[in-house]
Structure 1
């Protein structure tokens, strides 16, 4: 498993090029070999750590793991406008991440507008919003 130790060492040193090269050579999305699939998830995480958003964006066109990693990373980097754009383009995961972000930062009106604009019939988006509504118990 020499490659694995080399990849971990490169990751710890933040030598993203080396780590990505080592891991991606042994990665396969939805492989029947669980190690190959785990390496694929690791590869996506390494791309995010390296802030290789253009690569993740390209992969996200066909790879759900890349899409989720990209959206999570955009949120972590405070790139709300990019999430908004992805949601507008039809990325449902981006919509969910955006709505959570807006609700968690007490911008429920903006979250509501995003749901109305990009997924008015999306039940899950509405469920996310509902989790952040204060309970109405009839008392003030």
Structure 2
């Protein structure tokens, strides 16, 4: 059985250590080799599925894919405090997810406060707030 099949089999049964080990050994961010780059994205997904957010956070310092997957996963899991902490550390992607989360959970005033506190100069965050305030029927 080749490494790819072993990694898939390990993933299917939730053997995260094996799957992550096999895939990460053949992963490279922004590689000219499309397969190595694909493996990198697979590696990020495995870390999410294994809920290894600490590892993703370590990688997110220098890896845009890890940062995006981490923020998206925190949003999907409703991990507001973690998003707020990341946004407070300057992660604009975490701020955008935090704003969407707060707005989506019926707390538009908190979303506005988060932008004012964590990204007062962030034009995209202000535009995101404006877009969220505009009902979909008006946006057409």
> TM-score, normalising length from structure 2?
0.91
3-state secondary structure, aligned to 1:26: coil
Aligned counterpart, 1:123 = 123
Give how far 1:131 is off.
Answer: 1.8
Please say if 1:21 is aligned against 2:35: no
Instruction: Note the C-alpha offset of 1:10.
Output: 0.9
Q: Give yes or no for the alignment of 1:9 onto 2:6.
A: no
- Structure 1 counterpart of 2:57: 57
- Cα deviation 1:11-56 (Å, max 9, x = unaligned): 1111111110110011000101111111101101101111111111
Alpha carbons 2:78, 2:101 under 8 Å: kept: no
Q: Does 1:101 align with 2:112?
A: no
Matched residue, 1:134: 134
Aligned residues: 136
Gaps of 5+ in 1: 136-140
Q: Deviation at 1:76?
A: 2.2
Given the two structures, how large is their TM-score scaled by the length of structure 1?
0.91
Q: Cα offset for 1:134? A: 3.4
Distance, in Å, in 2 between the alignment partners of 1:6 and 1:50 is 17
Separation of aligned partners in 2, 1:75 and 1:132 = 16
**RMSD in angstroms over aligned alpha carbons?**
1.5
Q: Does 1:91 align with 2:59?
A: no
Following TM superposition, by how much is the alpha carbon of 1:117 offset from its aligned partner in structure 2, in angstroms? 0.7
> Is the deviation greater in 31-40 or in 123-132?
123-132
The 4+ residue runs of structure 1 with deviation greater than 3 A are none
Q: Distance in 1 between matches of 2:109 and 2:116?
A: 10
In the alignment, structure 2 segments of 5+ residues that lack a partner are 136-140
Quote how far apart the aligned CAs of 1:77 are.
Answer: 2.4
Deviation readout 1:84-108 (Å, 9 max, x if unpaired): 0110110111001111111122211
